[in-house]
């Protein structure tokens, strides 16, 4: 059953007007930027927690997993619960819950309270991805691939902004007041979502699912491709600092390199969604994954200067595929249930993001980072024949 996205009250007799579409996209992007910013600012807080609570690296990994695993593992049940609410309310509620997690962290007096706050923030984050993606998909209908790319890109803006802000604030105050400020930011965003998102139903938007989407043909393959694409990205980021160090780079070099990768990646997410609309999903994914494999192989053999010069292109290829894949979820959603399809897809990619560094890291420990990066390039190439299997289900959807 294809779920209508009920924002509050709207008769749904006509397709969404352009102002409603823009407000829906703007609200979804605002929520995505905040929640992805929450996710990545934790990296800045981990060393502070290590010092205060005497945690080892394994303990820090557990701390991060309390948020990350909760966010990933609850995508499907959280989406089922949120489906009973207007999406406008669901997005505001998810942001309030995530902000409440940071309130608990700010008020915590020990490790147990901090852990409880991380879990609660992860619960809030689990709602945002499928609901916001569904909102954009329904608002733009058959033309949603490009806007979904913009939505995907907005998450990178949050990832770039929030860790920097938190790092600067930690130079002025302790981590608990910083957590309180992050909670206040979340409360402000929740209020903004209620003001920005339109009231009404977007059920009248042109449907994106045809015969193939109704039966879900190709969707399991799409999830596998999404998981492998995420694994490729996480593996490349895992080994990049060690590769630069082997070429004579310093800590400053690594910081510059990551900035180059992330800037290229943000551009790739914004652009490749539109590219998928123009030349098709299969051609776009073949191009980006082939480019990823070739570029990763190239930075293995180039000197430090040449490696740095290529990193924006590496980021573009690494991250661009994700926008194409996210934009394809509505086309292949089983039984036309786009919201549940997004929840399943995000579960797969977030799970891959958690497991892939462990697998690649074990390989790197045994064979070295160069072999690990070659395995990353090989993973990207594995995607190429797999994505060819989407031609038939996507073609059937286009004809329906």
Domain ranges of the chain: 18-196, 211-395
Structure tokens belonging to residue 385: 């024949």
Please give the pLDDT value at position 357.
75
Structure tokens belonging to residue 48: 């502070």
**CATH number for domain 211-395, candidates 1.20.1250.20, 3.40.50.300, 1.10.730.10, 1.10.10.10:** 1.20.1250.20
pTM over 0.85: no
CB 329 within 8 A of CB 130: no
Under CATH, what is the fold of the domain 18-196? Growth Hormone; Chain: A; (1.20.1250)
pLDDT, block means (10 residues), the chain with 400 residues: 42 55 89 89 81 75 77 77 78 93 93 92 86 82 76 82 84 92 96 85 41 62 92 83 80 72 79 77 90 93 91 89 81 77 82 78 83 92 92 65
pLDDT in tens, 240-276: 877 887 888 776 677 677 778 877 887 887 777 677 7
H-type alpha helices, the chain = 18-53, 57-73, 75-82, 87-107, 111-140, 145-170, 175-196, 211-215, 219-246, 251-279, 281-301, 304-332, 338-367, 369-388, 391-399
CA-CA distance, 316 to 274, in Å (whole number)?
Answer: 14
123 CB contacts (<8 Å, ≥6 apart)?
Answer: 70, 71, 74, 78, 97, 98, 101
pLDDT in tens, 22-55: 888 889 999 999 998 898 788 778 778 888 888 7
Residue that the structure tokens 């823009």 belong to: 22
State the maximum Cα–Cα separation within the chain, in Å, rounded to a whole number: 63
Mean pLDDT of all residues belonging to the chain: 81
């Amino acid at each position: 059953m294809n779920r209508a996205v009920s924002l509050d009250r709207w008769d749904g007799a006509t397709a969404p007007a352009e102002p409603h579409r823009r407000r829906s996209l703007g609200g979804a992007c605002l929520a995505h930027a905040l929640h992805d910013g929450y996710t990545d600012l934790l990296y800045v807080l981990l060393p502070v927690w290590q010092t205060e609570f005497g945690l080892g690296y394994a303990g820090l990994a557990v701390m991060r997993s309390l948020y990350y695993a909760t966010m990933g593992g609850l995508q499907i049940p959280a989406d089922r619960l949120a489906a009973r609410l207007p999406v406008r309310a669901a997005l505001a509620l998810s942001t309030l819950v995530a902000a409440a997690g940071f309130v608990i962290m700010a008020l915590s007096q020990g490790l147990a309270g901090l852990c409880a706050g991380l879990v609660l923030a992860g619960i809030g984050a689990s709602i945002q991805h499928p609901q916001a993606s569904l909102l954009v998909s329904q608002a733009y209908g058959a033309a949603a691939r490009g806007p979904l790319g913009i939505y995907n890109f907005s998450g990178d803006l949050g990832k770039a902004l929030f860790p920097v802000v938190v790092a600067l604030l930690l130079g002025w105050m302790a981590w608990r007041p910083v957590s309180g400020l992050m909670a206040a930011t979340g409360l402000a965003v929740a209020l903004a979502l209620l003001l920005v998102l339109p009231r009404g139903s977007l059920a009248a938007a042109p449907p994106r699912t045809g015969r193939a989407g109704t039966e879900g043909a190709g969707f399991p393959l799409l999830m596998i491709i999404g998981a492998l694409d995420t694994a490729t990205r996480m593996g490349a980021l895992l080994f990049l600092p060690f590769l630069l160090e082997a070429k004579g780079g310093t800590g400053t070099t690594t910081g510059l390199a990551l900035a180059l990768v992330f800037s290229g990646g943000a551009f790739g997410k914004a652009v490749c969604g539109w590219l998928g609309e123009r030349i098709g999903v299969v051609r776009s994914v073949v191009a980006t994954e082939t480019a990823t494999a070739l570029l990763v192989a190239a930075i293995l053999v180039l000197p430090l200067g040449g490696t740095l010069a290529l990193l924006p292109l590496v980021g573009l290829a690494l991250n661009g595929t994700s926008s194409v894949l996210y934009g394809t979820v509505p086309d292949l959603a089983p039984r036309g249930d786009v919201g549940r399809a997004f929840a399943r897809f995000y579960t797969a990619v977030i799970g891959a993001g958690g497991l892939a560094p462990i697998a690649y890291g074990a390989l790197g420990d045994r064979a070295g980072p160069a072999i690990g990066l070659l395995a990353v390039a090989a993973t990207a190439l594995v995607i190429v024949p797999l994505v060819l299997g989407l031609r038939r289900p996507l073609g059937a959807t286009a004809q329906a």
